[in-house]
Amino acid sequence: MSISKKIIAALALVVLVLILVLYLGSRIFLLHSFNELERASVKKSTLQVASTMQEMFKEVRSMASDWSAWDDTYQFVQDHNPAYIQSNMMNTSFVSLRMNLIMVIDKNAKMVTGKTFDLQSGKEIPIPPKILEILHPGEPLLNLATPQDSHVGLFLLPDSEMVVATRPIVTSNNEGPIQGTLLMGRFLRASYILRLAEITQTTIKLQRLDDPNPPADFARIRPTINPREPVQTLVQSGKVISGYCFLNDIYGRPALLMRVDLPRTIYQRGIDSLTYILLSLATLGLCFGLMTYILLRQTVLNRLDFLHQRVREIGASGDPNARIELSGGDELTGLSVELNRMLETLGKSQLAWRESEARYRTLFDSASDAIFIHDAEGNILEANQAACERLKYTREELQHTQIDHIEDGEFGLPFPLRIARLKERGQLFSDAIHIAKDGTQMLVELNSRLLDYGGKTAVLSVARDITERKRAEEALKYSEKKYRMLYTTMSEGMALYEILFDDNGRPLDYQVLDVNPAYEQILNRPREAAIGSKASVVDDVTPSSYIDIYAKVAFTGQPEFFDYYSTVFQKHFAISVFSPGRGRFAVLFSDITERKRTEERLRLMQFSIDHAAEAIFWIAPDGRIIYVNEAVGALLGYSLEEMLQKNVFVLNPSLSPEAWAEQWRKAKALGTISIETSLLKQDGEYVPLDITFSYQQFEGTEYCFAFAHDITERQQAELEKSALQAQLSQEQKMDAIGRLAGGIAHDFNNILTGIQGYSELLLQTMPEADGSRNEVLEIRKAADRAAGLTQQLLAFSRKQVIAPQVLNINQLITEMRKMAGRLVGEDIQFEFKLSEKLGLTKIDPHQFDQMMINLMVNARDAMPQGGKLVIETQNFWIDSSPLNKSAEIPPGAYIRLSISDSGSGIDKETIKHLFEPFFTTKAQGKGTGLGLAMVYGIVKQNDGYINVYSEAGLGTTIKIYLPRQDEEEAQARPAAPASNLPRGKETILLVEDEDMVRSLTRKLLTLHGYHVVEASQGEAAVQISRQHPESIDLLLTDVIMPQMNGKELFKILQTQRPQLKLLYMSGYSEAIIAHHGVLEDAANFIQKPFTLENLLKKVRAVLDAKV
C-alpha cells in the first residue's frame, strides 16, 4: 500500500471514530433531554384534559344550584304539590337541561320525587338502585349544613358512570332553613368523551378501577400513580405516548383511570436534531480529512514523488555523476543528500572496480541494489548484502538456493527463455517479482549480463526494487487521467498562458498555451484559434491592464481572485489565477452575469424594503425577530440592533406561546392572515396595528413576512363613529318615547281636568260634616297625583309649556336649601360650592326646582346609610381643540351644575338606560322610573347637556351644562299670589272641543261671577263673537282643535275686537311652542289639568294686565 493510501486510511479512521464518539454522546444526553421534555408536556396535557372534564361537573352543579335555590322547589318539599311534578319533571325538562336524573329528597333522606330519563332513547328508565342506596340519614352526600354547601363528582354505577351533584333546598334568596336535598345526575357517555377529545385534540380512554381484567397498559401503570406523581406516562410506539391519571368519584376516592394519547412530536424533533448533528459531523470530518490530505500532498507526498522520479531517472541512466536537487531542510532533503552521497560513492566504486579487481567485492557488497551471480541452471553462486537484506536470507542460504525459488515464475520472462536471450544479446533488461523469505513480494528491475566466473559462464543480475516507483507511476497516470477528465468536463473555462518578455526582460504580453472545451463554449472561440494567440490580439483588454497581476502569480505562485466585466461579451466573469509552473499561469473563469444581476436585484429589493413606508418584520417560528426595516424603528422607537434582540412575546406581552403557535399554524395553512393587535413601544406606550402575516419558506427554513400598519387614527375614527351612532340612536329612541309620552299626557290631561274640577265643585257644595267628603278628597288627591305624573311625562317629552327666565341659579339653589335638608334627611351631609361670579342662564325656575328635587331624591336613595351630597356651580368654557373633537357638547360658554354623592354608584350597563322613562333599579313601589327621564327632558328643553360619571361602589356625579347668557341682570322670581280665590264680572268667550272640560270650566267661572259664552270649535266662536252685541273681555281657548286652532281663532277675533285679551289652555300646545314647548313672547297659558285656584288666578291676572 502506498503512503498516500495509508494516510487516507488513517485519516478516515480518525474522523470516523471522532464522529462516532460525538454522535453517541449527543444521542445519550440530547435525546434524554427531549424525552424528559416530552414527558413533562404529556403530563401537563393530561392534567388539562382532566381540568376540562371538571367543567362538566361544574355545569351539573350549576343546574342543581338553580333548581335547589327556588321557591317552587322549597314549597314542594313541604307540601308535595303534584303540580310541581307536572310542570318541572317533564321529559322536555330533562332534554333542555341535558340531565338524566333529578331527585328531590326531604330532610329525612326520603325521596319526594325522582326520575331517570335516557336522552338517547327519549324514554324514562328506572332510577339506578345504586342511587337509591344513598337515601339514608347518615349519607355524606345528603349532609349539607349550610345553603352554600354542595357535592359534585363521579358516581359509579354497575354498568356506567354518572356525574352527580347535590345541593341543599333553600329559598330563592338562598336562605333557610334547609328543607332537603336536590340531586341531579348526567351519564358520562362515550359521546361526551369523544367531544372532549375533539376539544383537546387528543385521544381519551377511561378504565374503571373495579374492572377485574383491565388492559395490560392500565394494569401496568396503575400501581405507579401516587399523590406525589399524580400523572404517569407510557410510550406506546415511536409515534404515540400516553398520559395516565386517576379521576376521583364524588367521595374523593379514585374511580377511573384516564389515558390521554398524544403524538410524539417532541421526540421526533429530537431524532431530527440528532440526524442533523450526524450529517454536520460527517461533513466537518470529511472537510478535515480532505484538508489534511491536501496539506500532506503539498508538503510531503509531491516531494517524495519528485525524489522517486529522480532516483528512477538516475537509475535508468546509470550515470553515477547525476545528482538529486531537492530544496528544503527536512528529512526528505536529508534523504536526497544521502542519495547524492550514495551516487557519489557508487561512482567511486565503479572507478575502483576498473582500477582494481580487489575492490570489486567492496563495490559488490556496498551496492544498494540486490546483485546476484548465478549459473545457467539458476543456481545462485553469489549475492551481495543488499540482496540478503531485501530477501531476508543469509548469504549462505542464498548460495544454496536457486533463482526460481526467489522469483515468481508466472511473472515476466521464464528463466530458460531469459537465459536464451541473454546468450543472444549479451545483456538483458527485464522485470521480475522477487519473493522474500517471509513471503513479501517486490517488483524489481533486472539488469543481467554474461560474465566469466571461475572459468564458467555465469550471469550477473542486478535487481533494483521498483515497487514504490511503479506505484507512483500508476498513481501519476491515474492523477493525470483524473485531472485531464476534470479539465475537459468542467463547466468553468480554463486557459493556460505563458508570460512574454520584452528585450529588457520585463513582462510585455502573454499567449495561450492550451484551453479546455468550456473555454470554447463560453467565449465561442475554437481551441485551434486560441492556442498560440496573444492577449493583445484576441482579448478585449490591453495586456498592461492585468500583466502585473498575472506576472506576479506566474513568478510567486500566489493565486489571485477578482471579478471582471467584458465589454466584448457583455458578461461578468469570476476570475481565479494560479501558477502551474514558473513563468506560466492558468486562468479559471466562470460566467457570473446572472449572479451579478441577481445581486443587483437583491440590493434594489433590500433598499426598497429598508425604505418602505410600511413597517416590515421577518419572524422565525419561535417568535424571534430576524430582521426589520427602518419603518419599524420609526414606529416603535427601537434601533435595528435592539429589535434583533427581541421577540414577539416582548413586543406583545399579552401574546402566549400557544396563541403564537396557532397564528403560525393558520399562516402556514392559509398562506396569508391578517390580525389586529397592539405592540409595546420603547416609551412604554402601545400602538394599535393591522398586521398581515405571509408564510414563506427559503432554502428549507420557515419564516413569516409581516406588514404592520398603524391604525391609531382609524380606531379613533371608529370610536368616534360608534359614539355618535350610539348618541344618535339614544336621541332617536328618547324622541320616539317622548312623542308617545307627550301624546298620552295631552289626552290624559283633558280627562284629569274634569276629575279635578268636578271634585272641587263637589267639595264646595258639600258640608264639612258630610261623611262622603273624605271620599271626594281622595278622588282629588288621586287626580293631583295623576296630574303630577303627566307633568313628568310632558317634561321628559319636552312638550311641557315653560316660561324661561334669565337668572342666576345660585339664587334658586340658596332658596331651596331648607327644603333640601328636609327632603334628603339628617343623616346626609350637604356641601355647597357655589361660584361667586357665576354667569346667567335661561331656564324656567319651576322646572329647575323639579330637576333639583329629582336629583337630590335619587342621591338620597343611593345613600341609605347616610353620606355626603355636594352641589357645585361654576362657569365653564368648552373650546374647539382636537381634545374635544369627540365630545357631544359643542364649543361655547356654559354654566356647569354638578351634583355628587358618596353612594353605591352605578354600573356602566345601567348608565346606558338611566334616562329612559319607567326604567328604575329601585324595588317595586319605590319609584316610577320617571324622575331622571324628567331631568333629561328639562335639560334638553333648555338647550342643555347632561353627563353621568359613576362606578359601582364609588359614588355618582351628574354634570349639567346650561348655555350661559349675555344679559347683565337676572330676572327676579315672581312673587307667590295671595291664596284668596279672586272673582270677576267680565265676559269670557270659552272655546273647548272637549265637552266635559268646556262644561266644567263654564261652571267654575260662572260660580265666581264671570259671564261665560261658550263654543265647541273655532268657527262657532267666530259666529258667536259676531252675533254677541256686548263686549267680550277675554278669549279662553284650547290650543289644538279641529278645523281651526286657538292661535288662528285669536287672530280672527282680534280683527273684530282689538281690545280682546287671550288665555290659552292645553295639555300641551304645539301651536304656540316655538322650540320644545317654549312660549311665544307675550303669550298667556294655563296647563291642563288645572285646579280651580290656578284657573281663577290666571284669568284674573290676564284680565288685570295692561295691554
- Give the DSSP per-residue string, 351-420: HHHHH-GGGHHHHHHH-SSEEEEEETT-BEEEE-HHHHHHHT--HHHHTT-BHHHHB-TTSSS-HHHHHH
Residue 951 resides in a domain = yes
- Residue 784 falls inside a structural domain: no
Q: Are residues 839 and 927 in the same domain?
A: yes
Q: What's residue 238's pLDDT?
A: 79
3-state secondary structure at position 169 = coil
User: What is the grid cell recorded at 278?
Assistant: 450526524
In a domain, 963, yes or no: yes
CATH assignment of the domain containing 1049: 3.40.50.2300
C-alpha to C-alpha distance for 232 and 46, rounded to whole angstroms:
9
Q: Write out the E strands in 90-139.
A: 101-106, 111-118, 123-125
Q: What cell does 670 get?
A: 392559509
* Residue 854 counted as domain residue: yes
In terms of domains, do 945 and 824 share one? yes
* Under 8 Å between Cβ of 610 and 629: yes
pTM of the shown model: 0.33
Where does a domain end: 213, 229, 259?
Answer: 259
pLDDT for position 1075: 35
3-state DSSP of 241-261: EEEEEEEEECCCCEEEEEEEE
> Pick from 971, 999, 1022: which residue ends a domain?
971
Strand arrangement, sheet containing 240-248? 203-208, 254-263, 240-248, 231-235
Q: And the C-alpha cell for 407?
A: 522469483
- Alpha-helical runs (H) found in 443-575: 467-489, 517-523, 527-530, 535-538, 547-556
Give the pLDDT of residue 330. Answer: 75
**Can you tell me the distance from the alpha carbon of 631 to that of 367, in angstroms, rounded to the nearest whole number?**
86
Domain hosting 218: range is 202-259
CATH of the domain at 447: 3.30.450.20
Residue 882 and residue 1027 in one domain: no
Q: Do residues 1095 and 1016 share a domain?
A: yes
Grid coordinates standing for 705? 413576512
DSSP 524: T
Where does 944-983 have alpha helices with state H? none
- Asked, for residue 29, whether it belongs to a domain, the answer is no
pLDDT digits (tens, 9 = 90+) for 468-504: 888 877 777 777 776 677 777 787 888 888 888 888 8
Q: Do 110 and 225 lie in a common domain?
A: no
Same domain for 590 and 628:
no
Q: Which parts of the chain register pLDDT below 50? A: 798, 881-887, 925, 968-970, 972-979, 1069-1079, 1081-1082
Rounded to an integer, what distance in angstroms lies between the CA atom of residue 794 and that of residue 738? 8
Note the pLDDT of residue 282: 82
Say if residue 991 is in the same domain as residue 862. Answer: no
Q: Per-residue pLDDT tens for 962-981?
A: 999 875 444 544 444 444 68
Domain termination residue (choose one: 939, 971, 1003):
971
Number of domains into which the chain is organized: 7
Say if 568 falls within a structural domain: yes
The three cell numbers of residue 734 are 328618547
Quick check: helix, strand or coil at residue 659?
Answer: helix
Would you say 399 and 381 are in contact if contact means Cβ atoms under 8 Å apart?
yes
Straight-line distance from the first to the last Cα atom of the chain, in angstroms, rounded to the nearest whole number: 143
Q: How far are the Cα atoms of 58, 279, 489, 517, 590 from residue 492, in angstroms, in the given order?
A: 76, 29, 9, 9, 5
**Predicted local distance difference test score (pLDDT) of residue 881:** 46
Tell me phi and psi for residue 463, to 5 degrees. -105, 115
Same domain for 966 and 835, yes or no, is: yes
Q: Is residue 920 part of a domain?
A: yes
Do residue 940 and residue 856 come from a single domain?
yes
Ramachandran assignment for 1069, one of left (phi > 0), alpha (psi -120 to 50 degrees), beta (any other): beta
Looking at the structure, do residues 185 and 213 belong to the same domain, yes or no? no
> CB pairs under 8 A, 24+ apart, for 914-920?
914/948, 915/734, 915/946, 916/733, 916/734, 916/737, 917/737, 917/741, 917/793, 917/796
Whether 962 is covered by a domain: the verdict is yes
Residues 958 and 1084 in one domain: no
**Are 383 and 457 part of one and the same domain?**
yes
Which uninterrupted H or E stretch holds 84?
helix 82-88
